[in-house]
Structure 1
């Protein structure tokens, strides 16, 4: 081999190494977390001034929760049927008629716990066709009372829109539109710009129901199959386009008027994007976190709240255990409702960076959302497979 050929191959190797180094470094960090964050090694951290495990045996498996500060209430997205139907974690119970539907709840955290009005289910009406409701991410445009829901319907995942009426004795949400689109394959989380325009994350390209091993490879190899889609319902027909590709794209929130934050669960990071006038996104920064982030929210003071999973293998173990609890008639007994997967909740500001709020492998488990009413200093944490929610103050 000539000197020229040797140098050429060396140059190609150097270029390939430089090109793949950020990816390899990111995968190394994610793999280190699997070892470092074993439940027995996790520190117990609690910086809350007060906290309480509430709504036990009333709501469970709540994937998302959002604060409507003007109304002093939270909207909770919960699904007892997640034990039998979870398209992200690969749970597909064959007896579909036995799978219970999920439920949205109004939780008025400013009322006493024993008040009859403190917790109320939202009645969903005018849903077309077969009613199948397995909610993940929820969003609310208060100006128009528009409620957006990522619904993992048994017949295929979609985004459902409702008009929410909070004035009646019992809250009612009237279905107005269903969005099914090839670019909304695996909808997970939504952030609305107004009643006609929003961003929705797709956590994977390869769906667990289509190719389980491929979906797992996409997750653990950190492949950028997840996306952020921009949806404009004012266009005719509605315009949907991919504006970012993110490994395991999960939670999404507006950090401010011009910045969108997206959780990448596979990469253990939050990606920041500049929002352009046409809805496109341009990456502007990265926040590394010591766990796999799930959902995101921004409180009234502009603080980014991040909840997630320190140790995915333990979460997988919990999912398998929950499946083993399912009886022949599709019922999961109450003794199986407690989560055993650890929790990590942090907050981030540009001034102070990342600060841990709550880390536990013994108390409240499988946290996936943290949200806060900054005016009243009341926050909530929801758990993907937990019984009840955590209510806290700083």
Structure 2
């Protein structure tokens, strides 16, 4: 007869295996993509009626892009300094004074490409202290003219808030406040609830600048160190609460009044949450993907657009190559600006499920955001390390 101690150990082992089985299955599915999605194995898909690269040699390394459909323009979040400074991927150039700052751009996609009105930088005013601007996620509340930006400032990541004035020839963003908080450790993406309330994702708990090996382990083991924080800047003091956790919490988007979508990059899925009255989030389902999602967007036709990276090893290789291009003065030659890692864009609706729109290994690389003007049938894709943006029409 087995001893009581042996039976107890067996029972504990069974419980541990049962508890870890979903995690093991999830890691197997996600890590399989490292082999399955080698660029030579990927299909070439393009369901757009037309698509082409625009703004080449004018903007590059654009992480986010949002469509303001009412005014037919996009706000692009771009950073040529990403080649030297990327807190998510672990690029920290020692000569900080040579790292160029990023910019936000107004792109009027209905204007002719060669028109002076098509592209204009947003100028900044009243920024406090040492100016350091390395933007990721950006959001704009049109009703209050409030602009929110996840800024991976060299002295520490934060969310910067501006009032955007579009009434003059030049767009000017006047700085109104900076949000630095222990629960906003690694801000990545934003989704607005109002001009004073928003969700912000923190992609990791362990920061690459603090412990590179630990951050990589958090990514590849699928540890849910990433969070979604609810922020209310109208309250005094400011209210910040962690309302959800996910492995590598990346893009976030409001699907409707009751549903929030969050991209879990290292889990290769988009998680859907029910939003409660106090703005807490409860996960209700997920959308499994065959690639690693980055940013999310929703548009007026009710669909969710997902963009991401099919093959992380190729993406990592691109980053290493970009570092090798850096000259002594910190500049990166123009011949190094082209991204060489694949892009995957999908559309999801509750009625029709998931549809792949665009997969490319050669035309446009490192795609991280897709956004669409549903009224005009035009959309954009931004590339984290790409030269220009992809503009498409249905």
Q: One fold, TM greater than 0.5?
A: yes
Unmatched 5+ residue regions in structure 2? none
Kindly indicate whether residue 302 of structure 2 is the aligned counterpart of residue 307 of structure 1: no
Q: Distance in 2 between matches of 1:292 and 1:166?
A: 36
Pairs within 5 Å for 1:280-295: 280-295=280-295
Give the stretch that moved more between structures: 273-282 or 66-75: 273-282
Question: Cα offset for 1:13?
Answer: 2.0
Match for residue 362 of structure 2? 362
Match for residue 339 of structure 1? 339
Kindly indicate whether residue 236 of structure 2 is the aligned counterpart of residue 226 of structure 1: no
Match for residue 22 of structure 1? 22
Unmatched 5+ residue regions in structure 1? none
Question: Cα offset for 1:362?
Answer: 1.0
Match for residue 206 of structure 2? 206
Q: Distance in 2 between matches of 1:117 and 1:31?
A: 45
Query: What TM-score, normalized by structure 2, do the two folds share?
Result: 0.99
Match for residue 2 of structure 1? 2
Match for residue 13 of structure 1? 13
Match for residue 181 of structure 2? 181
Match for residue 268 of structure 1? 268
Match for residue 44 of structure 1? 44
Secondary structure in 2 aligned to 1:213?
helix
Question: Cα offset for 1:4?
Answer: 4.2
Q: Distance in 2 between matches of 1:174 and 1:233?
A: 17
Question: Cα offset for 1:52?
Answer: 1.1
Secondary structure in 2 aligned to 1:21?
helix
Question: Cα offset for 1:14?
Answer: 2.0
Query: What TM-score, normalized by structure 1, do the two folds share?
Result: 0.99
Q: Distance in 2 between matches of 1:222 and 1:131?
A: 35
Pairs within 5 Å for 1:79-94: 79-94=79-94
Kindly indicate whether residue 245 of structure 2 is the aligned counterpart of residue 245 of structure 1: yes
RMSD: 0.9
Across the two proteins, how many residue pairs are aligned to each other? 394
Question: Cα offset for 1:244?
Answer: 0.5
Q: Distance in 1 between matches of 2:68 and 2:22?
A: 39
Secondary structure in 2 aligned to 1:15?
helix
Q: Distance in 2 between matches of 1:65 and 1:19?
A: 40
Give the stretch that moved more between structures: 220-229 or 16-25: 16-25
Deviations 1:117-155 (A, max 9, x none): 000000011100000000000001010010000000000
Deviations 1:62-111 (A, max 9, x none): 00000000000000000000000000000000000000000000000011
Q: Distance in 2 between matches of 1:2 and 1:362?
A: 62
Secondary structure in 1 aligned to 2:193?
strand
Kindly indicate whether residue 318 of structure 2 is the aligned counterpart of residue 318 of structure 1: yes
Question: Cα offset for 1:167?
Answer: 1.4
Q: Distance in 2 between matches of 1:79 and 1:35?
A: 30
Match for residue 349 of structure 1? 349
Q: Distance in 1 between matches of 2:3 and 2:268?
A: 43
Question: Cα offset for 1:11?
Answer: 2.5
Secondary structure in 2 aligned to 1:190?
strand
Match for residue 150 of structure 1? 150
Question: Cα offset for 1:7?
Answer: 3.7
Question: Cα offset for 1:8?
Answer: 3.2
Deviations 1:160-182 (A, max 9, x none): 00011111101111000100000
Question: Cα offset for 1:363?
Answer: 1.0
Question: Cα offset for 1:6?
Answer: 4.1
Match for residue 118 of structure 1? 118
Q: Distance in 2 between matches of 1:198 and 1:31?
A: 32
Q: Distance in 2 between matches of 1:294 and 1:24?
A: 22
Question: Cα offset for 1:10?
Answer: 2.8
Secondary structure in 2 aligned to 1:163?
strand
Kindly indicate whether residue 373 of structure 2 is the aligned counterpart of residue 373 of structure 1: yes
Deviations 1:199-231 (A, max 9, x none): 000000000000000000000000000000000
Secondary structure in 2 aligned to 1:194?
coil
Q: Distance in 2 between matches of 1:353 and 1:7?
A: 46
